[in-house]
Each structure stands twice: as structure tokens, then as C-alpha cells.
Structure 1
């Protein structure tokens, strides 16, 4: 056994002994009832469920009914209205979440707690291979609170949870949902369904979705005035975001065996996506005849992914733990850049992953988990823009997390040990990382909660950060990595406060204040040189500091019986600095206000979101102007047809110019103009 392997095995043993000891110390405590209601359970971040109102970090949960009525968008764009979350916004077909100013390899996107094994973190023009419309719920964790998922969650986690492998029988033997919507700004339509059949023990699931949009209309020319002015060009007078069309389809099936023992199941899913990348084209070089490039044109990306998953949850009748969870998956991913009618660069990624958890849940005052997970990923890029060589990444991690809840106070802590190996032609690097967290909370009453958490996280460099060396048209640069990088280390402190509405108060408030300090922070910086007619950017390591806050509050303005008028508001702000100056693409502050009306049949709201100007920049950035977006929404539950809901929305009512500062291409891509969309959902 190697020294590193011994450390991991030793850490697992210590974690097991520690958690078992905690469990035995509480063996005389009266067990919590399994039927005790929890307002909003969150499972991401630890395998044991914790109420959202009792977490020491900021978490949002989007449920399927909410997702069905949201605009038809990619993952990053759909989540970008949440406080502290923005979108990479590279194209309608390619958007990834940015959390508290961190993106790429620092934000982990999961599917049922397992990795995507796609190429979305490699470049912002690469789409996530899981669409939010597949989700039964989406859990968004900000900051490094999800210690059990390792260093790549140092910025946060987005977990897309579906019901493709059913853990329970269908209600009355058959349940499901159908949803559809259409939009005017892009002549788009979207439809999805999922079906669960079986009273048990066998349960079958089927699901599918289809989205198709054309190039969308814009309130101004896609090229910003700041860009055209800086280049001495005439203002862009266009009204269409050229090459922004999308065509996505996904379908899957699952079969599970369900009983008193728990469940085991298997699923398969196929995703096909063809989308345009605005501004990403290959023009002829100066002096070359144009007819040599007549076949070239705007670049589209043709993405295909096949995914197989196995998942189980087994109940245990004795010992300090009461369930064993095991999951394994295999993913085969490929996308091809189509340059007009020609095939350009291809990116291939296939991987195998497993995860096993021993969980203690609902047994007295102590909850906890110990577990192990592993991943093997083979990555290959072929073509003129293969700026990263082929590589193999192997990861193995063991972790433990526990929570002691005494009712009005409690503590929580965790430890994780990781090994990561990256190999390529003539290159081999091994990293051994240790991460730990500790938190405490105090509940002076049923509707108030205060918590503090401290986390130390280590993240090994990615294959891109180590090995990149070539032209990267997605970012319009020539990128160079550094094979000698050290592990990135982050220290984070977060303070949390909740005030919940109850029979004595119509007011809610949620506050999160955080600060993070990074040693060996990996950043992409311009060198001032030029290669292949592209500016050269090099990955460097420096120290960096982030701080910010997220505030959410609301109050019932009027209530009569089951009718309510409510006002809600959010505010977020993040600041990022390094020894080299400001961190690139830090989003500006934003403020959102919403007035809503609800009754048993109707839901309606008017919402205004203001994003401030961002003029705190790196050398390669242009300022981004402030904007205000106003949206009007209404939904009605049809009385004659139980389970049917219709909805309509006008988005960007004022036809405002809006650009996402966190996006690489925000100066050539503007958000859609005024948009009327309407749809329906049927749940049975």
C-alpha cells in the first residue's frame, strides 16, 4: 500500500470510529419519529437529510412544478436569477452556473449526486449534458459547504435530481406529468413528459424532452456600444442574435425493484443537442482568397451523450447506521464543432464513477455519513482547436460528515481525503488533498436560526489548467497551462441567519455573509504576447480573496383566508481580488423585488430585477452597463381538469438591453428582447 493510499484508508477508519462513537453516545436518546415533518429537506452536501431552514450555508431548492413554469433555458440561465448565482451565458445552448464569482472547475454540476463527465467545465461554449427540465428538483449550494464532494465543489454545487430510478411505487399505479410552452422572441417551443408505472415491487419510468428555438430577437444590436467604440466601428444596428438557435432532445428510461428493504434500479439516458455559438466563427486570414473558405460559416456544436446509471438504497436494521446507499455510472460523451458544413474539432469524454455511503438518519440527535467515491475519466480533443492534449484523470476520495442536533443548538463537522492522478503523453502528476469543515448553530426560537461554518478545501489543478497549450476559439485566446502547479487551497467562513414566518409573524428574512481566502488560486491572465493571431493567456497561481453577502426577505402585505398578497426582495454582492488585481468577470450587485398574489387557483406576480454597472475590471475586460428587467407572470389551475395548469408571462417588458458581465462574450451577445411565452402543465 502506498503512503497516500494508507493516509486515505486511515482517514476512513478514523472517520468511522468517530462517527460510531457519536452514535453510541446518543444510544439512550429517544429516536426522532420518522413521520416528523421537515419543511424543506436538502440532501445535497451530505447524504443525510437536513431541513433547509437548519443549514449553515445558503441553499436553494427548485421543485419540478416551478421548473415546468420557468422559461425554456439552459442550466446556467435558468438559475441566474437566484441570489449569488450567475450564468456563463455563452449562448442559449451553452450556459453554466457561476456561484459567488467562481465558475468552471470550482463549481460542480451533478446528476443525482454523480458527476456529468462532460466537457462543460473545459470551455464556456460547451453545454452541460443534463437539462434542468429533466429534474424533479434542483438543489443549489453556494460555497464549499458540500465537503463530501471534494475539491471541485470549492465554489458550490448544482445537483439535478431526477426520478428516473424510482425509489417508491407510483401513486395508484401510474403517475407523471406533461408540460409544454412556446415563446415569441425566438419562435421556440418546448415539451417534456415523465411517466412512472407500477405498484411495486417493479417500477418502470420513461421520460423525454424536446426544445427547439430559432435565432432570437434583441432590443439592440448584439455588439455592445462599448465594443464598437473601442474598435472605432459604427454602432451595431442589428435586431437578431445570429447563430443563437438550439435543437435539443433527451430521452431516458429506468427500472427499479422497490420493497421494505429499500430499492435498487438501473437507468439509461440519451442526450442530443445542436446549438449555435454566437460570434464563434472562422474567417479567412488577411491575404487569403475568400473562395478558399466559402464553406465555412458560424460554428455550431453537435453534442451527444449516452449515460447509464445504477443506484440503490438499502435499509439496515442494526448498528449505528440505518441505510447503505450505492451508485455507479458510465458516461460516453462527444461533441463536434461544425464549421459551416465541415467537421471541426471534436471533444470526447468517457468515464466511470461510483459512490457508496453509510448513512445515519433519524436515529436520535446524531446524523452522519461515511463514504467513498471514485472516478476514471478519459478525455480527448481532436482537431485544429485541440488546445488540451488527451489525458486520463483518476480520483479516489473517502469522507465523513456528522451532525449533532440538540434542538436549540448543534454542531456539524466533516473530513475528506482525496487522491487525484492526471496522466498524458510524457506527463504524470499525483495530488493528495485534505479538506475539513466545522460549524455550529443556535436556535433561540422555532422561527429563528443563527449559524457559522468554517471550511478548508483543497482542489487539485485540472488537466486544462496543467496541460493547455493551443488556440482556444471559445474564449478567443491562445491558452497555456502550467504542469508544475500546486494544489489550490481555500479557507472560507460563512455566517448565516434565518427568520421564519409563523402564526406570530408574516415576515421572513435570510442572510448569508461570507469571506474566502485562496492560496495558489489558479487564474487565466493575458501575457501581452500574440500567437496564431490570438492574444496569449497563461494560467498562473496567485493568492486571492473573495467576500460578499446574500440577503432575502419577504412580508405578507395582505391576507384574507387563503388569498395572499406578498412582497419579496433579494440583494447580492461579491467582491474578488488577487495579488494580480481584480479577478476577471466578477458579476455586479443585483437587487430584485417581486409583488405576488396567490389563491387556490391563481398565482401572479410582477418582478423587477436591477443589476448594477460593473467597472471594476481586469485589463482584458470592458465595463458592463446597469440594466433593469421587468417580468409579468400569471398561472391558473383549471377547475374542470384537475392537475392542469396554464401559465403566461411577458419577459423583459421594457425591451431593455441586458448583458451578463460574468460571460466571456457579453460584448457580442445581448440577452433576448421582449418575449411573450405561454404554456401548460398536466400532473397526474
Structure 2
């Protein structure tokens, strides 16, 4: 088995327009043949026992949204934390925050989106070539922060080859009706046999987005002058630029890229409120509430290299490293309220060995350091330096009837807060998985098990104070122990023919599960509810099923149908439900496609979520109806064009995510029509 992933070296590698150079008419039906970039071995999704979704081509172009969470929120087993258009993080199988790693090209996004749900992920979906979603524990490769899953955004910012003709490019322009979205992106690639380069840039600007009713759900909590039909302070501005290059040689490559990500966005429902002491003997005067905005800037340097066939017994050495300078300022009106800084680096080295008997595999090391600080009104987490080292091994073998995978990881972590004592601990994870093909037609039985340990993160250990974004007081515990989970998922797949399907059931039992517990007590000074980080044993149980079929030919094209259902339940062993667990959903997509046109209609039903934690409010269900048209235009000499129209929430539902802390103040966008075009040359 080789790690030199030639399928990754896609011609053009055009991040913003993958569908134009890889005509993937219905991405999900071909997903099993797509290479998994975020894995050290040369594998496809069908060769992994762990459930993996790879979103690329036309599918990615269709679902791209203003943030990573909303881009992926319709994928199997995935929801989002949605805190308005500026900030939304993926939720995988009911797990969020520090249990789901967001990565760019195999290295952490190195932002502060796990610290607070109103903080943006430092990745814009417009730069993605494909997005990989690992559902379930991925701790062996990426550490204890991946116990819930991983989202890896694949770009071409460090190219592994030059275009055949020496130069190619792509660009996209789009806009929409409900938010006044004005977005554009461009990617250029060029080079020769010895050097390849890449440049991409994007700009996005929106207005406040429209909704069918009032932003604040409860009538008695609305301002007297509240205006229906719009979410105030929900506009965003984003700019990104990246320049990269690679030196190419016969046995590998080495490259570097420098990228910047800047965004300024409003935080809906998050206002700073003060009282003026007034004159002696007089009651305090309330000052007008000020809107809160986040002004975020991130500069990142990435290094990547691959060396192949260097020595006997070694097939490949792969190296990745990211160095990050991050700062965001929370503005209260024109004043700086809180300043967050996150200077970090992360690196990993993977050595793919030649077969050891019947076993193929890799060993590796991962290392990271993070210097986090927050200063100001919302500095509820003290400055903390975190150091982490991990060592891992993964091995695979093929027998006559089974494909078997084994692996293990040891990880050490140390937190050094500015106040209090240092906290260090070690986590160990092991996994075993197997795939058993049977019958004809691509049937297989799959089982995947893992024993994973997660080390507490800084905000769980050291939080102490009001968190105004979520309108709560968070209190951490420095004595939190290592969280341990026993995970099992098993399923049956059919991956060949006109009818393909997969059913996966999973169960995860946690010892000392860390969660944010509503105490039901209100702080008399801050007038905010108090939430403590607590540890209890817990269980998660769920099911994911989907079906794809090409069921008819119509004219020059075909009709496809996708059906899916997913659900997860999370309970403490005491019988109490865990908070913000997504509801059960059912969905269908009907699609016609030929060589030039794709027309789709889809609907997803979200059930009511009444299984709520103590002091948590239930959330009403809703139905999301979307439709889209893509029209590809081929020209004799000019660029290849794709025109697209997509309508979302066509029934104009007042839709609120149960997984969102802001569900009472920030519903999803109302009826919206997006239009645009893409071109490659």
C-alpha cells in the first residue's frame, strides 16, 4: 500500500470550482471511489470501516453556505451550532465543541471556535476542494479532541503538481435575495516540472438576513420596537487571500503557503447592557444597549512535504505543519470589549512502512502548542498555554474474507494557566475494525470499535465568569478527570449498482462525560443563570441510514433519488437527557441530470425535540424545502461556464436549531434564492 496519493493530484485542483474539472453529476453515488485525503494510507471511503462522508464536486458547490457549519448541516449525522450567519460549527452525532476537530489540510483550524459558540471557524467553504467528515471517534490520527469526529477541509494551497498546460484557473460570483449576499472567489494554478504555485482569494459581504417572523421567539422577551422580518446585527464581511508554492522532484515535493482570513460579523441577540449610577439618591439610569460585533483576523503559514521510497522498509514520509497568528476583538458599539489571542502551531509526521508480513500501516507523531489569552469584559477563561504530544500507529491487513484494521495512540497534554497550578495528564486510545464483503453487488458488513480517552480542554477546566454570548455564567472545574468512551458502530453497505444504501447503528458509553450543566440558579449580581462543567456517566445511541438509486431514464438524462434518516439520543445514566441533542430527521432528494443540466428538489423533516435536559426548552420541528438548477455551458475556446439557481427554505419556515445556544434569538434564514455562475479556464 502506498501513501503517494495520485488521486489527490487532481488536474486543476481548483478549490472553488471542483465540479467544473471533476464532473461529478451526483456526488454521493460515486463517493466510495473518492480518495480520503485525511488518512495516511491510500484508501477510499469504501475501504474504511469508520463512517466517512466526502463532499465534493457538484454536491459541494450546491451546499456551500457562508460558514462551515451550515455548509455541512444537511449531511448524514451532522448538524450545526448556528449562532447567526457569522458563526456555525459542525455537530456530529450530537457532539460539538472540543469533541469535533475542524481542520484545514490535516492541520487544526487553530481558531477559538471551541471556546464560544459565537466565535467563527477560520475556514471559508468557498476555498474547499472537498470536505471530509469522519463520524465517530477519530482519536488515533488526530488526538483526544476528535472523540466525536473530524471535519477536514481539503484545499490546493500547497500544490503537489503543476497543471499540464502550465496554467489554469477558475472563478465564481454569487448573490442571494434574503441576505443580499455578494460573494466572489478566484483560484489560479501554474508552474512547471520543478515548481508549482497556487493563489486564491475571496470576498463576501451580506446585509442583515430576512426571516418570516420575529427574531426573538418569546413575545414577552422582545423589545418594544422589535421589527419582524429581519435578524438585526446579522450581517457579515469576509476576505481571504492565500499564496503557496511547492518544489517538485522525482521522489516527492516540499511546499509552503501563507494565508489570511479576516471577517467582521454581528452577533445576533448579544448586547452589552450597562447601568449608569446616576445622581446621588436617584435610581440608576439604564444606558441603551449596544450591538456586539466580532472583528477577526488570522494569518497562517502552512508547510507540507512528501518523500517516497527513501529507504528500504519505508514507502513514504509525510510531513505537515501549521503556524498560526490569531486575534479577534469583540466590539461593543465602538468600544473594544474583549480581545482574544491564539498563537499556535501544530505539526505531524507520518511514516508509511513497507508491509510487515501481511500488515500495511503507518506510525506517526503529532505535536502542538497553543498560547491562548482573553482580556476584557468577557474574559471568562484566563490566559492558558497548552502543550500536546501524541504518538500513534495504524495497521491494516487483508485476509481471504476480511479487511482488518488495528491502531493505538498515546497522548500527553499540559495546561499552564496564568492563575493556578499546571495540569497535565495522559490519554490512551485503541481501535479495532473489520469489513466483511459478502454476496454479489458490493455488499459488506462493517464493524468499528474504539476505546478512547479525551483530555479536558482549557475552557472546561478554567472558565469562571459571565459568558455574555450565551447569556450564562460558566464555571469550570480544575479537578476534571480524563473522559473515557467505549464506542461501537456496525452496519451493512451496498456500494455497487443502481441501488446503493448503507445502514449504521452506533452506541457510545462514556465514563466521566464532561458537559455544561444548567444548575437552575441565577447569579444575583449578573442576573444570569449559572452553568457548571460537570462529569457524569452517559450513553449515546443512534442510527444513520441512506439510500441512493438511479431509477429511470428521461430523454438524455437520468432520475436519481436519495432518502435518508438519522437520529441520536444522549442520556446521563441517571436518566436525564443531555442538552442540545439534535432531533430525529428524515429527508429526500429527487434529481434529474444529463450532461449539461442538473435539477433537484429536496425536503428534510425535523421532528420536535421534546427530550430536553433539566431547565432546557423544547424546540418545535419544521420542514426545510429546497430546489436547485445547474446549467453547464461549454464554449469552443472560452471558459467552461456553469450557471446556478438555488432556493432554500422555500416554505419560509420559522426554523430554529435545537443544537444552537441562540435558538431563541437567531432563527435560520427565511425563504432565499441564490444565483451565480462559475467558470474555469
Tell me the CA shift for residue 528 of structure 1: 3.1
2:429 and 2:452 in contact (8 A); partners too:
yes
Change (3 A) 1:673 1:32: closer
Deviations 1:609-633 (A, max 9, x none): 1100001111232111111111110
* Aligned counterparts of 1:588 and 1:292: Cα–Cα separation in 2: 40
* Aligned counterparts of 1:612 and 1:661: Cα–Cα separation in 2: 10
- SS of 2:259's partner is strand
Tell me the CA shift for residue 38 of structure 1: 9.8
Change (3 A) 1:31 1:120: closer
Change (3 A) 1:362 1:93: farther
Change (3 A) 1:582 1:33: closer
2:607 corresponds to which of 609, 612, 637: 612
Tell me the CA shift for residue 91 of structure 1: 1.4
Deviations 1:446-505 (A, max 9, x none): 511211011011111011111111111111111111101100011100102211232xxx
Tell me the CA shift for residue 286 of structure 1: 8.7
Normalised by the length of structure 2, the TM-score is 0.91
* Aligned counterparts of 1:533 and 1:272: Cα–Cα separation in 2: 34
Tell me the CA shift for residue 68 of structure 1: 3.3
Deviations 1:385-413 (A, max 9, x none): 10000010000000000111236421001
More displaced stretch, 365-374 vs 165-174: 365-374
| RMSD (Å) for aligned C-alpha atoms | 2.5
* Aligned counterparts of 2:223 and 2:293: Cα–Cα separation in 1: 27
Change (3 A) 1:162 1:548: same
Q: Which residue of 2 aligns with 1:518?
A: 510
Q: Which residue of 2 aligns with 1:587?
A: 582
* Aligned counterparts of 2:6 and 2:473: Cα–Cα separation in 1: 57
Change (3 A) 1:427 1:339: same
Q: Which residue of 2 aligns with 1:102?
A: 95
More displaced stretch, 78-87 vs 281-290: 281-290
Change (3 A) 1:41 1:64: closer
Matched, 1:330 2:323: yes
Change (3 A) 1:279 1:33: closer
Tell me the CA shift for residue 41 of structure 1: 3.6
Matched, 1:552 2:546: yes
* Aligned counterparts of 1:257 and 1:405: Cα–Cα separation in 2: 36
Matched, 1:602 2:597: yes
2:219 corresponds to which of 212, 224, 228: 228
Tell me the CA shift for residue 133 of structure 1: 1.3
* Aligned counterparts of 1:556 and 1:463: Cα–Cα separation in 2: 49
Matches within 5 A, 1:139-154: 139-154=132-147
Normalised by the length of structure 1, the TM-score is 0.91
* Aligned counterparts of 1:362 and 1:635: Cα–Cα separation in 2: 46
* Aligned counterparts of 2:591 and 2:639: Cα–Cα separation in 1: 23
1:582 and 1:617 in contact (8 A); partners too:
yes
2:396 and 2:405 in contact (8 A); partners too:
yes
Q: Which residue of 2 aligns with 1:669?
A: 666
Q: Which residue of 2 aligns with 1:680?
A: 677
2:101 and 2:149 in contact (8 A); partners too:
yes
* Aligned counterparts of 2:276 and 2:620: Cα–Cα separation in 1: 34
Q: Which residue of 2 aligns with 1:187?
A: 180
Matched, 1:495 2:486: no
* Aligned counterparts of 1:71 and 1:415: Cα–Cα separation in 2: 35
Deviations 1:249-281 (A, max 9, x none): 110100101122111001100111000000000
* Aligned counterparts of 2:657 and 2:257: Cα–Cα separation in 1: 36
1:341 corresponds to which of 325, 334, 356: 334
Change (3 A) 1:46 1:232: closer
* Aligned counterparts of 1:639 and 1:102: Cα–Cα separation in 2: 44
1:646 corresponds to which of 637, 643, 646: 643
Q: Which residue of 2 aligns with 1:40?
A: 33
Q: Give unmatched runs, 5+ long, in structure 2.
A: 8-29
